[in-house]
C-alpha cells in the first residue's frame, strides 16, 4: 500500500491541525537552524560529515535553549558564548542541570 497526504479522510479541523503541526516544527527547529547556524549554506558532503554536523548543531541549539540566565535570541547567545568563556560554561552546564 502507498499512502499520500491526501489518503486520509480528515475533517477540516484535523487537516488544519496537521498543517499547523508541520509548520510548528519548521518554524521552531529548521528555521532556527538555518538562520542561527546557516545550516542550508553548509557545503560539507564527505561521507557522514553532514549528518555529524547536523547532530552537533542540534545539540548546540538544545543547550542554548536550556540556558535561561540570559534573555536573548539563539544567535545572540551564540555570539555571547563565543566571546565570553564564563557564559560558554553556563551554556554547556545547562544541559546537565536538573529541572
| Structural domains in the chain (count) | 1
Examine residue 1 and state whether it is found in any structural domain, yes or no. Answer: no
Q: State mean pLDDT over 83-99.
A: 86
Report the pLDDT value the prediction gives residue 18, as an integer from 0 to 100: 80
Residue numbers of the domain that contains 62: 11-94
pLDDT of 9-64, one tens digit each? 888 888 888 878 777 777 777 778 877 877 777 788 788 888 888 888 888 898 99
Examine residue 4 and state whether it is found in any structural domain, yes or no. Answer: no
Q: State mean pLDDT over 83-97.
A: 90
Nearest to 28 by CA among 60, 65, 55: 65
Q: Residue 94 and residue 99: Cα distance in Å, rounded?
A: 10
Q: What predicted TM-score, i.e. pTM, was given to this entire model?
A: 0.67
Contact residues for 80 (Cβ-Cβ < 8 A; gap 6+) = 70, 72, 87
Amino acid at each position: 500500500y502507498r499512502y499520500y497526504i491526501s489518503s486520509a479522510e480528515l475533517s477540516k479541523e484535523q487537516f488544519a491541525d496537521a498543517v499547523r503541526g508541520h509548520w510548528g516544527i519548521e518554524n521552531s527547529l529548521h528555521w532556527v537552524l538555518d538562520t542561527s547556524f546557516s545550516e542550508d549554506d553548509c557545503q560539507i558532503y564527505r561521507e557522514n560529515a553532514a549528518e555529524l554536523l547536523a547532530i552537533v548543531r542540534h545539540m548546540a541549539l538544545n543547550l542554548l535553549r536550556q540556558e535561561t540566565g540570559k534573555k536573548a535570541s539563539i544567535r545572540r547567545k551564540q555570539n555571547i558564548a563565543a566571546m565570553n568563556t564564563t557564559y560558554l560554561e553556563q551554556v554547556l552546564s545547562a544541559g546537565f542541570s536538573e529541572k
